Structure 1
């Protein structure tokens, strides 16, 4: 039995459905990220786990106990908000100890726990300061310490780093992951930043329009997206429209040029259009013809973007295009716009997406 169970949860507001048929099983100590664009339902789902929103239907269980309609103050769940939500008239120590005071812990227990939390978030000498005397990163550490002080069963983080600058975000997300591993606490993290989700998570739940698109490890989500949305949202990906020519042999046609997938194409008849995805990093320039087992496509250089350590080359063939990255080599001439070019990629690089290609 999973530690956190979300079974067929649905949430609607009047005539609008925010979350539809959400199912997730989370193991104790697992770090799960909800990843998706604004308005996809990830924060609403988080708020239902916290108890701030009630599901229209479905069930939420924590450690085997039905919490679907239990008030937030009886769930023992810690919440970290994007806006910090610290009490400005309280010191750092008082902010961290607030939940313990509400729980009527002794003064000695509160003092000891606050000191422990300050140590864990690397602010041992900041207990007597007020929030306005702290940087944004320090305030978010205090918010994290406050959420952890009550020893919650589940830690919930709602885009906690989005208000910080890039360097602080990277540093603080590494600290969050380190603390989570040290404490072994079950964690749900909401973000629209794919890099955050990929670097932090044990598993990622990719959401779109209130529905789960795919659940998997960062490796699976990045390398083996199952829908066009996941393929386009996570990482840089070429999504091509291909026609199935021989499903049993995995053969496809892209703009009149034949390529082969590594596996048979199941459930799709010949002459039907499907979506094929290719990561830019697995495509190479000036590849040899397909006699060596590689797929080979001829096209024309449409654009070359210099990005410092790499160059991103876009190749057009027919009414479609793909792009690939090439390491910058100052001793070689870069491709030129309008130049004929051949690109190669292995059959296993062809990711057949489950949803149909657009007409």
Structure 2
């Protein structure tokens, strides 16, 4: 039996269906992210696990116990909110110890746990500060420590880094993952940021319109998307139209240029399909006829400097493809208007 089970859960607000037929099993100590655009139902699902919303149908089990209709204070879950939600009139130490105080723990136990949490988030010297005296990243560390202080069975995080600047987000997500692994706590993390989900998670649940589109490891989600939505939402993607020439051999034409997929196609000759290729699979080459690769020739449309990478867009007859080159002091990028051939392996060509 999985540690956390969400079985056949539905949530309706009047006639609006926020979550439909949601099924997920999470193992003890696993880090699972709910990833999707705004309004896809990921936060509603998290709130049902927390007890802030009750499912219209279905059940939620934690460690074998049915908590579907229990209030939040009877579920032993810790919650970290996007807005920090610290008590402004309390010090850092008092904020961290608040849940323990509500649980009527003794002063000595509260003091011990607060010291442990402050050490865990490396903020021992901040114990007497108030929220207004700290940065956003520091406040979110305190919110995380407060959620962990009650030793929850499940840690829930609702877009906890979205209000922070980019550099702090990267630093703090690394700390969150390190703390989660150190404590071995089962964690559900809600985000719309694909980079966060890919870098943090053991598994990712991609959601759209209240449904699960795909569940898998970051490697599976990125490299083997099962639906057009997952392919387009996770990572950057080139998507172009292609005409099927020979379904059995996987032969296609893109703007009159022939390419092949690695697998036969289950469509008819002459049909137009959409193919997707990750930009990192494209390379420049001066050689034609390379075995096992596809080649497309066009004209350089734009060259954009993005710091660590240089993004090159190539225009075919009607379609456009882009690929990234790692920047270095000796890089000589192609010039706008230059004729260029790009190649990519047949396995990288996904029909969506």
Partner residue, 2:96: 96
Q: Distance in 2 between matches of 1:270 and 1:71?
A: 58
Question: Is 1:287–1:296's contact at 8 Å kept on the other side of the alignment?
Answer: no
Q: Distance in 1 between matches of 2:147 and 2:329?
A: 51
Partner residue, 1:67: 67
- Give the CA deviation at 1:295: 0.6
Q: Distance in 2 between matches of 1:7 and 1:274?
A: 36
**SS across alignment from 1:348:** helix
Structure 1 pair 336–125 and aligned structure 2 pair: CA distance change class (3 A): closer
TM-score (norm 2): 0.94
Q: Distance in 2 between matches of 1:111 and 1:334?
A: 59
Deviates more, 1:87-96 or 1:300-309: 300-309
Partner residue, 2:288: 289
Partner residue, 1:164: 164
Partner residue, 1:9: 9
Q: Distance in 2 between matches of 1:116 and 1:188?
A: 23
Q: Distance in 1 between matches of 2:174 and 2:161?
A: 11
Question: Is 1:155–1:185's contact at 8 Å kept on the other side of the alignment?
Answer: yes
- Give the CA deviation at 1:48: 0.8
**SS across alignment from 2:301:** strand
**SS across alignment from 2:303:** strand
Q: Distance in 2 between matches of 1:217 and 1:331?
A: 36
Question: Is 1:287–1:344's contact at 8 Å kept on the other side of the alignment?
Answer: no
Q: Distance in 1 between matches of 2:331 and 2:143?
A: 52
Partner residue, 2:338: 339
Structure 1 pair 307–130 and aligned structure 2 pair: CA distance change class (3 A): closer
Question: Is 1:137–1:168's contact at 8 Å kept on the other side of the alignment?
Answer: yes
State how 1:47-196 maps to structure 2 within 5 Å: 47-196=47-196
5+ residue gaps, structure 1: 354-359
Q: Distance in 1 between matches of 2:78 and 2:96?
A: 12
Q: Distance in 1 between matches of 2:274 and 2:68?
A: 39
Q: Distance in 2 between matches of 1:127 and 1:329?
A: 45
Question: Is 1:61–1:68's contact at 8 Å kept on the other side of the alignment?
Answer: yes
Partner residue, 1:40: 40
Count how many residue pairs are aligned between Structure 1 and Structure 2: 352
RMSD: 1.8
Structure 1 pair 117–301 and aligned structure 2 pair: CA distance change class (3 A): same
- Any idea what the Cα deviations from partners look like across 1:129-170, whole Å, max 9, x if unmatched? 222222211111111111011111100001111111222111
Deviates more, 1:331-340 or 1:59-68: 331-340
Q: Distance in 1 between matches of 2:140 and 2:305?
A: 37
Partner residue, 2:209: 209
Partner residue, 1:219: 219
- Give the CA deviation at 1:241: 2.3
- Give the CA deviation at 1:346: 0.8
Q: Distance in 2 between matches of 1:332 and 1:133?
A: 46
1:31 aligns with 2:31: yes
Q: Distance in 1 between matches of 2:186 and 2:325?
A: 40
